[in-house]
């Protein structure tokens, strides 16, 4: 068979035409030292800060320290299979995570990989985990509330969409409970929640996911988990991954909420990797830029203005304190970065005052603007009464005879405190909060036994719903307490007390009974104005006499 040379040359020509010498540029380096979740790599001169690096066996890493000869990298995953001499490649991408609706309802690790056994995440979109926070020009003040469904918070420490509110307290004071209740209360509220668990036990995270699932809250929630057993680099990355997922909603004009539970453990993880990288330790051995690490995370919470889509990203960081010490390094840092804090106290928690919110030192610096007017109408009085109560209660525990005004104030404070108690997983809609707080701040609970306040609330709500079913929806719709609504509420509470006998049948039997019956006589919203206080000061001497008698008779009874 003859060989046709022109045929061969045309084939070769064709092949040459299609040949492209596309050089694939990738920096390649060699591991010179590896261990404890970090690696020193020689020869990656072109690496970017926070660039994703590719180790053998599909393990990823992140460029952390860029030095003249070497690059210090965080290994994001199991590092035990890596050894000195292994090759490392740059990828040209900074660390990013998958984002979008496909993540909702899923549990993922800080790299966005599913860890809930429900298959891979179906999304093509990714976002870098680090981004510069939105600037001043594109923001606007908060004006829409995040209803937590917790009476003590929605009334006194309201949170607005786009706000950063710190939840701070010792171990086991109900910090996570507040965050979880808030997430549960967002059902049907158009707020996507992202719960970032950092350094917690796997079992605790599993429990939280189960609770969310049970209450149908996973339908609007993403859980990002870097457990205590995960390497420190992953724990460090977790909140940034969570906020990147939230930013996807923010930039699309939607509302999102990020819970970072908790940033104390995040700080530990960051301290660990920084010390391993031989960055100089500062106060409490934390690296010098720990403040920057937290501020650039929390600054990414924002409320964008209309021109920029009007989306919002709310941040609820959690900090654990040691023995209530809010002046330690990390707590003060995060307090100064956030727009307020919810302070939870161990002794309140142990006394049964749950949620254990200390109303005195908890604040919300911007959320009041977002509160509905009806709530503002009742909460101003609430704050004042509680503040007076706390002050008086501290003195009164030593005093034997008190004037009527003081006793009334103490009673009021006691009832208000009881009204603010709330079990876990029982968020209260805002109109119900308004109704019960209105009743409490206007003295309608003063003659109800403190232990019965919870029952009173439940029965009163049922009563309103059965006798005046338009009332609660009207409060929700009008968002303020008009004179007409106040009249309806007054009628409801009077009828209710008449029919059920609250405040009448439960005739107080313990010491201080006089205070209660007297407070009861004064029926009208007992305004503890100065005039009345003075008047009662005049009758003080007489009151003291009467008191002596009562005490004597009570002693006789006992």
Ligand X SMILES: Nc1ncnc2c1ncn2[C@@H]1O[C@H](COP(=O)(O)OP(=O)(O)OP(=O)(O)O)[C@@H](O)[C@H]1O
Of 93, 171, 278, 365, which residue is the catalytic one? 365
354 sits near ligand X (criterion: CB under 6 A) = yes
Distance CA 51, CA 47 (A): 7
Annotation says 106 is catalytic: no
Residue nearest to Mg ion (CB): 176
Binding-site string for ligand X from residue 304 to residue 323, where x marks contact by CB under 6 A and - marks none: ----------------x---
For ligand X, which residue of 9, 57, 113, 172 counts as binding (CB under 6 A)? 172
The pair of structure tokens assigned to 17 is 């035409």
> Which residue, among 366, 243, 236, 218, has the nearest Cα to 313 in the 3D structure?
243
Minimum Å gap between C-beta 371 and ligand X is 22
Binding segment toward Mg ion, per CB under 5 A, in 172-180, 325-333, 438-446, 529-537: 172-180
151, interface contact from ligand X, Mg ion, none, CB < 5-8 Å by kind: none
Mode of pairing for the β-strands spanning 159-160 and 126-128? unpaired
Return the SS3 of 190.
coil
Q: Determine if 362 is a binding residue for ligand X (CB under 6 A).
A: no
Stretch that binds Mg ion, among 168-176, 216-224, 377-385, 480-488 (CB under 5 A): 168-176
Strands 159-160 and 221-226, by their bridges, are: unpaired
- Length, in residues, of the chain: 558
Q: Which does 158 bind (CB under 5 to 8 A by kind): ligand X, Mg ion, none?
A: none
Bond preceding residue 355 cis, omega within 30 of 0: yes
Q: How far is the CB of 492 from Mg ion (least distance, A)?
A: 39
Alpha carbons 325 and 332: distance in angstroms, whole number: 10
Shortest distance (Å) from residue 342 CB to ligand X: 11
In angstroms, give the least distance from the CB of 502 to Mg ion.
37
Judged by DSSP in three states, 535 sits in: helix
Asked if residue 163 lies in contact with residue 191, where contact means CB atoms within 8 angstroms, the answer is no
Q: Which of 385, 395, 447 is nearest to 416 (CA)?
A: 385
The C-alpha atoms of residue 357 and residue 348 are separated, in whole angstroms, by 8
Rounded-to-integer distance, Cα 553 and Cα 547, Å: 10
- Is there a contact between 389 and 325 (Cβ–Cβ < 8 Å)? no
Residues 173-192 that bind Mg ion (CB under 5 A): 176
Environment class of residue 82 by beta-carbon count within 10 Å: exposed (0-12), middle (13-18) or buried (19+)? buried
Look at residue 278 and give the partner it binds from Mg ion, ligand X, none, a contact being a CB closer than 5 to 8 Å depending on partner kind: none
Q: Are 160 and 366 in contact (CB under 8 A)?
A: yes
How many CB atoms are located within 10 Å of the residue 555 CB? 9
When asked if residue 171 is in the footprint of ligand X (CB under 6 A), the reply is yes
90 lies in the binding site for Mg ion (CB under 5 A): no
3-state SS string over 207-255? HHHHHHHHCCHHHHEEEEEECCCCCHHHHHHHHHHHHHHHHHHHHCCCE
Which residues ranging from 268 to 287 are in contact with ligand X (CB under 6 A)?
Answer: none
Helix (H, G, I), strand (E, B) or coil at 139: strand
Cβ of residue 454: shortest distance to ligand X, in angstroms?
11
* Three-class DSSP category at 259: strand
Pick the piece of the chain touching ligand X (CB under 6 A) from 12-20, 172-180, 210-218, 283-291. 172-180
Does the protein bind ligand X through residue 177 (CB under 6 A)? yes
Residue for token digits 């007409």?
484
Residue 320 CB, nearest approach to Mg ion (Å): 8
- Of these, 72, 110, 174, 368, which contacts ligand X (CB under 6 A)? 174
Q: What is the closest distance, in whole angstroms, from the C-beta atom of residue 459 to ligand X in the complex?
A: 20
In the complex with Mg ion, the residue whose CB is nearer, 172 or 482, is 172
In the complex with Mg ion, the residue whose CB is nearer, 176 or 488, is 176
Residue 176 binds ligand X (CB under 6 A): yes
**Rounded Cα gap, residues 150 and 425, in angstroms:** 10
How near is the Cβ of 300 to Mg ion at its closest, in Å?
A: 23
* Residue span 415-444 as binding mask against ligand X, x where in contact by CB under 6 A, dash where not: -------xxx--------------------
Kindly tell me which of 150 and 237 has the beta carbon lying closer to ligand X. Answer: 150
Pick between residue 197 and residue 485 the one whose CB is nearest to ligand X: 197
Residues near ligand X, by CB under 6 A: 169, 171-177, 320, 354-355, 422-424
Which residues are annotated as catalytic? 365
Residues near Mg ion, by CB under 5 A: 176
């Amino acid at each position: 068979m003859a060989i046709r040379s022109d045929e061969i040359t045309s084939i070769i020509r064709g092949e040459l035409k299609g040949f492209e010498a596309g050089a694939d540029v990738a920096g390649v380096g060699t591991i010179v030292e590896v261990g404890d979740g970090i690696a020193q790599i020689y020869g990656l001169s072109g690496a970017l800060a926070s660039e994703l690096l590719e180790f053998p066996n599909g393990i990823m890493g992140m460029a952390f320290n860029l030095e003249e000869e070497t690059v210090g990298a965080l290994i994001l995953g199991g590092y035990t299979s890596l050894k000195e001499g292994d090759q490392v490649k740059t990828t040209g991408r900074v660390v990013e995570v998958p984002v979008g609706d496909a993540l909702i309802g899923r549990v993922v690790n800080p790299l966005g990989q599913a860890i809930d056994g429900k298959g891979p995440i179906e999304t093509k979109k990714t976002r870098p985990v680090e981004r510069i926070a939105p600037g001043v020009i594109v923001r606007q003040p908060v004006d829409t509330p995040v209803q937590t469904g917790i009476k003590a918070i929605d009334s006194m420490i309201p949170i607005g969409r786009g706000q950063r509110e710190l939840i701070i307290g010792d171990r086991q004071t109900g910090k996570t409970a507040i965050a979880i209740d808030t997430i549960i209360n967002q059902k049907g509220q158009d707020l996507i929640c992202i719960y970032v668990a950092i350094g917690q036990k796997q079992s605790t995270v599993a429990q939280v996911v189960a609770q969310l699932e049970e209450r149908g809250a996973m339908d609007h929630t993403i859980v990002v988990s870097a457990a205590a057993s995960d390497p420190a680099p992953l724990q460090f990355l977790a909140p940034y991954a969570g906020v990147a997922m939230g930013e996807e909603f923010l930039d699309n004009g939607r509302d999102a909420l990020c819970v970072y539970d908790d940033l104390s453990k995040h700080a530990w993880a960051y301290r660990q990797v920084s010390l391993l990288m031989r960055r100089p330790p500062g106060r409490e051995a934390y690296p010098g830029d720990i403040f920057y690490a937290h501020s650039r995370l929390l600054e990414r919470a924002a409320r964008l203005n209309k021109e920029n889509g009007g989306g919002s990203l709310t941040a609820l960081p959690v900090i654990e304190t040691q023995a209530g010490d809010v002046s330690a390094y990390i707590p003060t840092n995060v307090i100064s970065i956030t727009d307020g804090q919810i302070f939870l106290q161990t002794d309140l928690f142990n006394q049964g005052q749950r949620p254990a919110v200390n109303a005195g030192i908890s604040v919300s610096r911007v959320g009041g603007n977002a509160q509905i007017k009806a709530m503002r109408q009742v909460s101003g009085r609430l704050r004042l009464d509680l503040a007076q109560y706390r002050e008086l209660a501290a003195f009164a525990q030593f005093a034997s005879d008190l004037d009527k005004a003081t006793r009334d104030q103490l009673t009021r404070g006691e009832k208000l405190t009881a009204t603010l108690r709330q079990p876990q997983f029982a968020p209260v809609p805002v109109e119900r909060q308004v109704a019960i707080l209105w009743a409490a701040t206007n003295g309608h609970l003063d003659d109800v036994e403190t232990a019965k306040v919870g029952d009173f609330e439940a029965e009163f709500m049922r009563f309103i719903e059965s006798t005046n079913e338009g009332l609660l929806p009207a409060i929700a719709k009008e968002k303020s307490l008009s004179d007409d609504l106040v009249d309806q509420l007054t009628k409801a509470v009077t009828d209710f007390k008449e029919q059920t006998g609250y405040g009448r049948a439960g005739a107080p039997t313990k010491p201080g009974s006089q205070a209660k019956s007297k407070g009861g006589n004064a029926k009208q919203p007992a305004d503890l104005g100065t005039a009345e206080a003075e008047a009662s000061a005049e009758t003080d001497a007489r009151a003291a006499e009467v008191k002596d008698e009562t005490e004597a008779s009570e002693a006789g009874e006992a």
